[in-house]
């Protein structure tokens, strides 16, 4: 059961990454990425796995965490699956933020999103650096903030 949940969760996130990386300006991508539903579903799976991974034996390890405890905890498939789902949720959430920042600012995000898919914090770092480089060295290539604000206000999906 746990390995099937793990497999389904891994496959579940891929369409969202594919949309953000390969079709970032498609209106369907924007519509899909506006939703929090994928995160709610994944967080529900995480909650299920987390609750089922806690045992009387490992509860103490969770309460006063040390590196050796983490290594021992992750040897349990239920704990490892919960940890992996945690990574999937958070990486996708950070990827979504990077995607929306790129849409808002015009900063190129494909490389950062790809890195975020495979190594979340490196994707975030990549985006922060790319954004800084873009603003510092190529400010004229950044969209006009007033035009961006007016365009967002005119968008039927803006809130």
Average pLDDT over residues 62-77: 87
Residue 89's domain comprises 2-154
Residue 134 Cα distances to 21, 74, 111, angstroms: 19, 40, 14
Per-residue model confidence (pLDDT) at position 159: 41
Give the pLDDT confidence of 4-19 residue by residue, as tens digits.
999 999 999 999 999 9
- Look at the chain and report how many structural domains it folds into: 1
Q: Is residue 49 part of a domain?
A: yes
Establish if 130 belongs to a structural domain: yes
101: in domain:
yes
| Domain assignment of residue 28, yes or no | yes
Spatial CA neighbour of 82 closest among 49, 52, 108: 49
pTM of the predicted model as reported, rounded to 2 decimal places: 0.84
Whole-angstrom Cα Rg for the chain: 19
Please indicate, yes or no, if residue 159 is contained in any of the structural domains: no
Look up residue 85 and give its two tokens. Answer: 């789902």
Q: d(Cα 108, Cα 130) in Å, to the nearest integer? A: 8
19 lies in some domain: yes
């Amino acid at each position: 059961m746990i390995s099937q949940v793990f497999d389904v969760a891994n496959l579940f996130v891929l369409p969202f990454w594919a949309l953000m990386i390969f079709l970032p300006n498609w209106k369907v991508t924007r519509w899909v990425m506006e939703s929090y539903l994928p995160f709610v579903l994944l967080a529900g799976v995480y909650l299920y796995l987390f609750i089922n991974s806690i045992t009387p034996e490992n509860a103490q390890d969770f309460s006063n965490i040390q590196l050796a405890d983490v290594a021992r905890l992750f040897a349990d498939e239920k704990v490892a699956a919960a940890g992996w789902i945690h990574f999937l949720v958070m990486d996708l959430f950070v990827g979504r933020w990077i995607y929306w920042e790129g849409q808002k600012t015009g900063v190129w995000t494909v490389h950062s999103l790809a890195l975020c898919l495979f190594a979340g914090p490196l994707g975030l770092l990549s985006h922060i650096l790319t954004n800084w480089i873009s603003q510092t060295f190529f400010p004229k290539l950044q969209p006009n903030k007033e035009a961006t604000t007016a365009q967002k206000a005119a968008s039927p999906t803006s809130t």
